[in-house]
């Protein structure tokens, strides 16, 4: 298990041992009957089928055909040249791929450009919090989702987590950009590419013995329920934490921030009847979909260790970077999830961050004066800034590409 420290494996072993079979079977055991009403969605209605048994049929059929006929090496270099929302699709794409992408890039009729513009300004003004919450917080939540952790681990991206983080950050960077849904932006591009990647993984992962042996009975990965679970680790979680931290947010900003993620969910292939129409509906859906499926896995612990190791490399001084990173991650997601992720407890940094972070936020939002902010808070502030820059710049250096294989054995 390369890259996984003995200390973290021992911590994880204690957690997994205490919970017994839950770590292996939590997705199947914890799932509750689907009861979320499509009346609460952006569509306002729908059949209401359980999204655990719904996938992205159009994309899935297309990408299965693309992979089986060996077109991936030809398509990926062409896709690299498609970078802007307003850019025509590049020449040279197979006709079926081109036709799908033309349909997939269209905004839903309910998209509101005014709200998208407000959201773009909000994403920029609150980027410090959002990038930290989506990057570190969302990352730690995702590794505590057994289905997601295993899907990432056994897919091609799991073998190179730095590249995997870079590709994920590219989508995050695009949705948070000031020009996100403007012609010069790129979120439409990155969303369509990500939708195609998800479809490719659905075709490939069932061929992986490692994934099939740990899938908890799931035969096709990344259902729409799985996508919604991940969605809630981003906007729903981020909004909840910002409100908890008393970050000032106006009603129009709150509505707009939800809207940009609603449109993005649509572009990623989530059906409108499942996309929450309000924050109340989002929180209700999160309680049903996300909360029950959180749990520990060996794969999640290993991925967490790699992710936090990458983050620690961006902070200084080196002698305290990993303990501080551990404590920051624990503060963002709480003790239960941190323990499931195998994150070490840090006797100095855990209480320190819990004390100084609210003061740092208060100063940033002009809620408290500078003299009340401990000097140590600026060490944490700088560490967070460095991670955010790493998160964003890595996203610019890579490309979201269609895989044609699983994680090498």
pLDDT at 12: 39
pLDDT on residue 390: 65
Q: Binning pLDDT at 50, 70 and 90, where does residue 99 land?
A: very high
pLDDT in tens, 185-206: 999 999 999 999 999 999 999 9
pLDDT for the residue 4: 46
What six digits make up the tokens of 120?
């773009």
What is the band of 25 on the pLDDT scale with cuts at 50, 70, 90? very low
- pLDDT at residue number 6: 43
CB 404 within 8 A of CB 72: yes
More confident residue, 262 or 217: 262
Which residues contact residue 41 at a Cβ distance below 8 angstroms, ignoring those fewer than 6 apart? 272, 273, 274, 275, 276, 277, 281
Using 50, 70 and 90 to split pLDDT, how confident is the model at 23? very low
137 or 376: which leads in pLDDT: 137
> How many residues in the chain?
409
Residue 137 contacts residue 362 (beta carbons within 8 Å): no
List pLDDT tens digits, range 247-301.
Answer: 999 999 999 999 999 999 999 999 999 999 999 999 999 999 999 999 999 999 9
Across 374-396, average pLDDT? 69
Quick one: what percent of the chain has pLDDT higher than 70? 86
- Distances 394 to 67, 166, 312, 399, 400 between C-alpha atoms, Å: 27, 5, 15, 10, 12
3-state helix, strand, coil in the chain (%, to 5): 65, 0, 30
pLDDT at position 250 is 97
Q: Look at residue 320 and tell me whether its pLDDT is greater than 70.
A: no
Mean pLDDT throughout 325-349?
95
Which has more pLDDT, 394 or 381?
381
Assess whether pLDDT exceeds 50 at residue 16: no
- What separation in angstroms does the CA of 374 have from each of 112, 369, 370, 379? 43, 11, 9, 10
Stated as kind and residue range, the H or E segment containing 86 is none
Give tens-digit pLDDT for 295-307: 999 999 999 998 8
DSSP 194-252: HHHHHHHHHHHGGG-HHHHTTSTT-SSS--HHHHHHHHIIIIIHHHHHHHHTT----HH
Report residue 403: phi and psi, to 5°: -80, 155
| pLDDT exceeds cutoff 60 at 347 | yes
The reported pLDDT for the residue numbered 24 is 37
Which of 20-34, 100-114, 121-135 has the lowest average pLDDT? 20-34
What is the reported pLDDT for 27?
39
Q: Tell me the C-alpha distance between 409 and 398, whole Å.
A: 24
* Rounded average pLDDT over 200-224: 91
Region 125-134: what's the mean pLDDT? 89
Residue 155, SS3?
strand
Nearest partner of 140 among 131, 129, 130, 149, judged by Cα: 149
- Does 229 score more than 80 pLDDT? yes
pLDDT above 50 (res 310): yes
Mean of the per-residue pLDDT values of the chain: 87
Distance set, CA 50 to CA 31, 149, 224, 285 (Å): 11, 22, 9, 12
* C-alpha distance from residue 239 to each of 104, 132, 173, 279, 397 (Å): 28, 12, 17, 9, 28
Whether residue 28 is predicted with pLDDT greater than 60 in this model: the reply is no
With beta carbons less than 8 A apart as the criterion, state whether 132 and 234 touch.
no
């Amino acid at each position: 298990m390369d890259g996984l420290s003995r200390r973290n494996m021992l911590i994880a072993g204690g957690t997994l041992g205490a919970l017994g079979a839950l770590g292996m079977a939590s997705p199947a055991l914890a799932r509750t009957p689907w009861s979320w009403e499509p009346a609460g969605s952006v569509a306002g209605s729908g059949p209401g089928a359980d999204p655990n048994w719904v996938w992205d049929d159009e994309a899935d059929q297309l990408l299965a055909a693309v992979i089986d006929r060996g077109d991936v090496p030809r398509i990926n270099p062409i896709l690299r040249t498609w970078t802007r929302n307003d850019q025509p699709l590049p020449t040279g794409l197979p006709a079926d791929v081109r036709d799908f992408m033309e349909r997939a890039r269209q905004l839903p009729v309910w998209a509101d450009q005014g709200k998208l513009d407000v959201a773009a300004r909000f994403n920029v003004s609150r980027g410090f919090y959002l990038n930290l919450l989506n990057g570190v917080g969302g990352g730690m939540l995702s590794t505590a989702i057994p289905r997601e952790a295993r899907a990432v681990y056994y897919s091609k991206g799991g073998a190179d987590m730095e590249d995997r983080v870079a590709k994920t950050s590219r989508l995050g960077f695009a949705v948070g950009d000031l020009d996100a849904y403007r012609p010069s932006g790129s979120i439409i591009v990155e969303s369509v590419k990500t939708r195609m990647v998800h479809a490719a993984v659905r075709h490939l992962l069932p061929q992986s013995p490692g994934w099939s042996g740990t899938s908890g009975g799931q035969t096709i990965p990344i259902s729409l329920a799985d996508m919604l679970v991940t969605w809630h680790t981003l906007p729903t979680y981020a909004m909840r934490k910002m409100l908890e931290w008393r970050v000032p947010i106006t009603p129009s900003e709150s509505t707009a921030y939800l809207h940009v993620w609603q449109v993005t969910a649509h572009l990623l292939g989530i059906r409108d009847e499942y996309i929450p129409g309000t924050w109340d509906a989002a929180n209700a859906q999160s309680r049903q979909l996300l909360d029950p499926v959180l749990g520990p896995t060996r794969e999640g612990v290993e991925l967490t260790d790699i992710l936090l190791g990458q983050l620690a490399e961006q902070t200084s001084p080196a002698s305290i970077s990993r303990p501080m990173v551990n404590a920051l991650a624990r503060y963002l997601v709480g003790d239960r999830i941190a323990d499931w992720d195998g994150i070490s407890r840090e006797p100095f940094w855990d209480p320190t961050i819990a004390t100084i972070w609210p003061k740092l936020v208060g100063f940033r939002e002009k809620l408290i004066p500078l003299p009340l902010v401990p000097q140590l808070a600026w060490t944490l502030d700088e560490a967070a800034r460095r991670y955010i820059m790493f998160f964003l710049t890595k996203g610019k250096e890579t490309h979201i590409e269609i895989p044609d294989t699983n994680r090498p054995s």
